[in-house]
Amino acid sequence: MLLCAGVPFAALVGGCLSHRVETAPIEIKPIHITMDINLRVQRELDEFFDFEKPAADPSATQPKERP
Amino acid sequence: MNSSRSAFPASVLALLGALFASDLVAQDPPAPRDVRSELKDRMKARYPLLEQARDAGKIGETREGEVKLVKATYATDKADAKDPAKGTVGELVEAENKDRQALYVVLAKELKLTAAEVAKQNGLRNLDKAKPEHWIEVNAQWVQRKTIKPVGQEKK
C-alpha cells in the first residue's frame, strides 16, 4: 500500500526537480617570455634567412583580452 | 753538361714543391662563406616543406632554436604528400636541425659567441616570426604562438 503510493509520488517529485551545473569561466592566461635580443646576431640571422617569409602581423599574435 | 746536371734536381724540386703546395691547398678546410652558402642552399630548398608542416601543426619551434615534432607519430608522415621521394617529416626535422647546428657553429665563430647563444637568438627570432596558430615548445610543453606574450628587452 505504502509502496503503491510512494512510487507515483517519487516520480511526480522527481519530474519537477531541476539540475544545474555551474562552470566557472575559463581564463586563458598568456605565457610571458623575455626577449633578450642580441641585435648583432639577429642581423646575421636575418641576412642568412632572407628567403623566409616576413614575420606575421604582430597584432595577430597578441591574445585578445576578455571583456 | 754541368748546367743540365744542376737543372735536373731543380726541376724535381719544383715539381715536388708544386705537389706539396697542391696537397696543402686540398687539405685546407673550406672557407666559412662556402659552408654558409651550402647550408643556405639546403635550408632554402627545405623551407617550403617545413612551412607546410608547421602550418599543419606537425612541427614546432623550440626556444633553443631547433625544429621539433609536435607529436612523435608525425615522424612517419610524408613530408610532401604529392612527392613521396621527399621523405618523411621526421627526416625533414633531422636534416634541418643538423644544418641549423652547423650554422650556429659558423655564426658563433664569426661573432665570437657560443653556438648555444646563437641558437637561442634564432629561437627568439622564430618565436617572433611564428603565425598565431604555430606551435612553440615552452618548458617542455607545446603552446600556440597566440598564447605567448613577449616581454621586450634589447641589447646591442
CA distance B142 to A44: 28
pLDDT digits (tens, 9 = 90+) for B21-68: 555 555 556 556 699 999 999 999 999 999 999 999 999 999 999 999
Q: Which three cell numbers stand for residue B36?
A: 654558409
In this complex, do A41 and B117 lie within 8 Å of one another by their Cβ atoms? yes
B121 vs A42, A53, A62: nearest CB: A42
Q: Looking at per-residue confidence, does B2 or B14 come out higher?
A: B14
In a domain, B97, yes or no: yes
Considering the domain boundaries, does residue B30 fall inside one?
A: no
Cα–Cα distance measured from residue A32 to residue A52, given in angstroms and rounded to the nearest whole number: 26
Count the helix, strand and coil residues of chain A and give each as a percent rounded to the nearest 5. 45, 10, 45
Residue of B nearest to A28 (CA): B147
Asked if ipTM goes beyond 0.90, one says no
Whether residue B93 lies inside any domain: the answer is yes
- Cβ distance of A38 and B146 shorter than 8 Å: no
Residues of B with CB under 8 A from a CB of A: 36, 40, 43-44, 47, 51, 63, 103, 107, 110-111, 113, 117-118, 121-122, 124-125, 127-132, 138, 143, 145-156
Q: Quick check: is B119 in a domain? A: yes
From A39, A41, A63, residue closest to B146, measured CB to CB: A63
Share of chain B above pLDDT 70, in %: 76
Contacts of A45 in chain B (CB under 8 A): 107, 118, 121-122, 125
Nine-digit cell string for B137: 615548445
Q: How many domains does chain B have?
A: 1
Among A51-65, B59-73, B85-99, B122-136, whose mean pLDDT is lowest?
Answer: A51-65
pTM higher than 0.80 for the full model?
A: no
CA–CA separation, A66 vs A27, rounded Å?
Answer: 8
The answer to the question of residue B2 being in a domain is no
Question: How far apart are the C-alpha atoms of B89 and B74, rounded to whole Å?
Answer: 7
Q: What is the pLDDT of residues A3-53, one digit of tens each?
A: 556 666 555 555 556 667 777 777 777 888 888 889 999 999 999 999 998
Any domain includes B127:
yes
Q: Which of B156, B130, B87, A39 is nearest to B148 (CA)?
A: B130
Which domain range does residue B46 map to? 35-144
Nearest Cβ partner for A51 among B44, B118, B121: B44
- Helix (H), strand (E) at residue A42: helix A39-48
What is residue B155's three-state secondary structure? strand
